[in-house]
Amino acid sequence: MVMFGWNVAQLPIVAWLLVSPNSKETPLVLSSNRRDLIQQIIAVSTVVTAASPYPANAEADTGSTSSSSSLSASEADGENALESLKPFAPVSALLPATRARLWIEEAYQISTQLTSSRNDHDQYHTLERLDLVLSHRPTLFRNGEKLAPRVSSTPLAQFTAKRSNLVVSNSNQNVNGRDPFASTGPSSFADKFSMALNQADVARQWGILQAQESRTESQNELRAAWNYYTQQLEFNPSSYEWTASAEEKKRRIRSDQLPTPQAVIVSDLDLRDLYRNQMLTALDDVYAEVQYQLKQGMNGNGLEVTDTIDLMDQAHGACNKWFDMIDKRDIEEAQLLVQKEQSQN
């Protein structure tokens, strides 16, 4: 089992959980948009901002600075070693998002030409080219690819089979001193009754979330393409690597604020969804802006392309940040497969 950490600005103790492809531990496979469920179960509120990878420098179980055996590769191989430690999903899961990424890249390259256009006439023709690309999105799902049916019965169904892996013996990983997944359960009748009510409410909200996400995916193939990958991500559900300072960990221990592994998974998924949503919003906005500027040009008014350039840059940047969370080798392999598809069409 290997672990990897990320330095998150407003949450210094957030780290990645994962199972390496060669690990013998049974991974936990989570479906998309399940973070609200987990957050209620573990009662952890997480704030996620843009992050950048760096080697883990402290172990979660000791809090002391050490050199992890999983990160013992030479400096020359350091980058490859770090890439291999990220959460895992098969390359096939990345194909729909990769098709979308190549389409976004094409639109972005056209938008960069707006800055070099010397007059409204040139800018107008560049906007026409950009509009043509944005309005003709490629087919993202091919060869029988489709999202897995969403769980609608019980929010704990995805954990039931792997429940033993979610029992964390270290009391530091409990929320308010109690592990919500521990087999011992609540000690008093009041606790048991409260937990039963909470689980019933979570089940109701889980069903609502699943229905809403299914409707959204059916209406937005871009969103579905990104969810297709996150649905198939595998994480290690039982431990994570501490990446903040030893002093910060001591402070968290004293205040009983160490995150559970499930909270770290939530943070990972939230960050991926954040980038996805930023990209989708920017794409909707840039398409509307291009349409508006084309109408302005047809009416003989002057063109203003600053917003178009900025919005396209936002979409392109958010897309790249989402892909930065994936092993580079998987990205390269998926891109080669998609380019081969395109050459055969």
Give the residue from 58, 40, 139 showing the smallest Cα distance to 95: 139
- Check: CB of residue 284 under 8 Å from CB of residue 134: no
Q: Please calculate the CA angle 184-188-192 and round it to the nearest 5 degrees.
A: 70
Between residues 158 and 342, which one has the greater pLDDT? Answer: 342
CA–CA distance, 151 with 161 (Å, rounded to integer): 14
Q: Residue 212's pLDDT band (boundaries 50, 70, 90)?
A: low
Between residues 342 and 239, which one has the greater pLDDT? Answer: 342
- For the chain, the structural domain boundaries read 4-344
pLDDT tens-digit map of 117-143:
878 899 999 999 999 999 999 999 998
CA–CA distance, 272 with 227 (Å, rounded to integer): 10
Residue 81 pLDDT exceeds 80? no
Residue 206 pLDDT exceeds 70? no
What is the mean pLDDT of the segment spanning 176-203?
58
Q: Residue 98's pLDDT band (boundaries 50, 70, 90)?
A: very high
pTM of the entire predicted model: 0.65
Q: How many residues does the chain have?
A: 345
pLDDT tens-digit map of 265-319:
889 999 999 999 999 999 999 999 999 999 999 998 989 999 999 999 999 999 9
- Check: CB of residue 262 under 8 Å from CB of residue 38: yes
pLDDT tens-digit map of 217-272:
656 899 999 999 999 998 877 777 777 899 998 999 899 888 888 888 889 999 99
Other C-beta atoms lying within 10 Å of the C-beta of residue 310: 14
